[in-house]
Chain A
Amino acid sequence: MRLVVDLQGLQNGSRDRGIGRYVANIVREIARLIPPADLRVIVSDLFPGTVEDVLARCGGAVSREQVVMFHSVGPTAEMEPESGWRRYASQLLYEDLVARLEPDVLLIGTLMEGATDNSIASFPTARSYRVATILYDLIPLLDPKTHLRTPRMRQWYEKRLAQLLASDDLLAISGAARDEAVAHTSYDCDKIHTIHAAASDVFERAALERDAEETEAVLAYFGIDRDFIMFVSAFDARKNFNGLVRAYALLSPERRSSTQLVLVCKLGDRQREELGKLAASLGLADDELVLTGFVLDEDLRVLYGACSLFVFPSFHEGFGLPILEAMWCGAPAIGSCRSSVPEVVGLPEALFEPDDLHGMAAMIEQALIPGPFRDRLLAHAAEHCRNFSWERTARAAVEVMREHDRKALAVEVSPPLVDDLITKLAAWPGVAGPSGEDLARLARALTANGAEAARPWKSL
């Protein structure tokens, strides 16, 4: 099976978020399962200087020879009205490049991108290869008021969603993500496969490599001087930061004075101020709430390993990777009973209703007291996290794609012709057509893509 994987998710703004981690880990494992000669990865030249970083994120499993550089005409961000022609041309160039590579399967790491960056991933209806796309969640579709505030944003999401649903298979990262797609789209449920996720190696090793001196130094750096409850997330209303801070404030003053609340999250000044104000209004002491800001994985694993309890109060998740990471590091974990969190926590008695602050506070209190419930959480964490591994996830994905390989294609497609492409590129019907400079850049990109696609697969 010739597999082409789109790795723009490791180049754009998602690279430091859950999506970037997911793409890096799954590609690393897929590269171990598939012969090198059968795997190519696409990166875009519109994110200059990122190729080395992409290869590093793949942990050396992907070699430089397997990289196909996609040359296009940028900038292409959908939110920029002037980008219309360039985006149109770049999408055609992308489709042409993939068709010329003649893969059996195209795996797209993330399709819901390109609103404000130069990500381009596109495939035509009639194609000679099959497409599998990773499905993270449908949160903007379910909550458009929060995530799709402008008509242009809504238009962008609708286009991307239509493209997502044109994939031959969707690889859902959780059962909840699959259920959402089944419930809210007309996509054939037999073609949505749950492949799950796992914690990365950094966290798997943490349980074995904990170092007391390092732990002390990291805790001191972040101003943590006693036991602590921890939550890791991006700053978003659906993550329920406020609920957790309010629930923490409901704990007894004695408990709060002996246990800090540590929120690990990249925060702007305004968000930091907002949380500080909330803490002050709830009467929390200055040192009771710790806002770490962005934390490197190396420090994060130390925090996971040292925390007394990991709490995940989110209203809506695609998966909820931090729960698994915390479990891998030996932390007892409790979480909300919404979306994918229950399947990741994996213990019904460790779930709470995220709206019920008193219920959340009571469970936090119960989980902190040494006793049967805490022991059960600890034992469960050590056992449950072993049900997830990137190898297992990658195997599930490869199995789906191999199944692709065996299926006959419904449409016979003729090989791509330069003449056809040129006709399509010239036929841009919208406003802001190409300038002479644009066409010169297009000619250069077209030539470079031709050279990339001409490298034979067997040469690797």
Chain B
Amino acid sequence: MLLWLARTLLAVTRLARADRALRKLGGIIRYTYRHGRKWLRTRRAWLGRWIKPEPSQGVLDDLTTEERALFDRLVAARNDYLGQ
């Protein structure tokens, strides 16, 4: 009887501990989802920061000669700044 009581108590304690752990994990997931999404949205450019700016050909075709020359200078200057 005593053994059964001890086992039940142990099981309940484990369950409670597991429940707390799961809740905590859920909280972390929720927090990460809410704040991480915003964080990623504002910081995602860190990933693309060093990517060479290259527009699609259609955009370039729309530029006049003067605009295209300026664009090339802007791209070169940006790449210089990024160290590429």
Residues on A lying within 8 angstroms of B by beta carbon are 81-82, 418, 422-423, 425-428, 431-440, 442-444, 446-447
Q: Is the interface of A mostly helix, strand, loop or mixed?
A: helix
A288 to nearest B CB, angstroms?
Answer: 47
Residues on B lying within 8 angstroms of A by beta carbon are 41-46, 48-49, 53-56, 59-60, 62-64, 66-68, 70-71, 73-75, 77-78, 80-82
Name which residue of chain A comes closest to B62, CB basis. Answer: A440
Name which residue of chain A comes closest to B77, CB basis. Answer: A426
Is B42 in contact with A431, judged by CB distance below 8 angstroms?
yes
Is B42 in contact with A443, judged by CB distance below 8 angstroms?
no
What are 22 A-B contacts defined by CB distance under 8 Å?
A: A82-B41, A418-B70, A422-B74, A422-B77, A427-B81, A428-B81, A431-B42, A432-B42, A432-B44, A433-B45, A435-B48, A436-B54, A436-B59, A439-B53, A440-B55, A440-B60, A440-B62, A443-B74, A444-B63, A446-B70, A447-B64, A447-B70
A425 is contacted by which of B54, B60, B74 (Cβ under 8 Å)?
A: B74
- Cα(A435)–Cα(B45), bound, Å: 10
* A438 / chain B contacts, CB cutoff of 8 Å: 53
B67 is contacted by which of A81, A427, A436, A447 (Cβ under 8 Å)?
A: A447
Is B63 in contact with A435, judged by CB distance below 8 angstroms?
no
Is B67 in contact with A439, judged by CB distance below 8 angstroms?
no
Is B78 in contact with A434, judged by CB distance below 8 angstroms?
yes
- Cα(A438)–Cα(B74), bound, Å: 10
* B55 / chain A contacts, CB cutoff of 8 Å: 435-437, 439-440
B44 to nearest A CB, angstroms?
Answer: 8
* B74 / chain A contacts, CB cutoff of 8 Å: 422, 425-426, 439, 442-443
Closest 6 CB pairs of A and B: A436-B55, A426-B77, A432-B45, A443-B71, A443-B70, A81-B42
* A432 / chain B contacts, CB cutoff of 8 Å: 42, 44-45
* B49 / chain A contacts, CB cutoff of 8 Å: 431, 433
* A418 / chain B contacts, CB cutoff of 8 Å: 70
- Cα(A434)–Cα(B48), bound, Å: 9
In this complex, the member of B41, B55, B62 whose beta carbon has the largest number of chain A beta carbons within 10 angstroms is B55
Is B59 in contact with A81, judged by CB distance below 8 angstroms?
no
- Cα(A81)–Cα(B46), bound, Å: 13
B35 to nearest A CB, angstroms?
Answer: 14
Name which residue of chain B comes closest to A435, CB basis. Answer: B53
B58 to nearest A CB, angstroms?
Answer: 10
Is B46 in contact with A437, judged by CB distance below 8 angstroms?
no
CB contact under 8 A between A440 and B63, given known A81-B41, A426-B77, A426-B81: yes
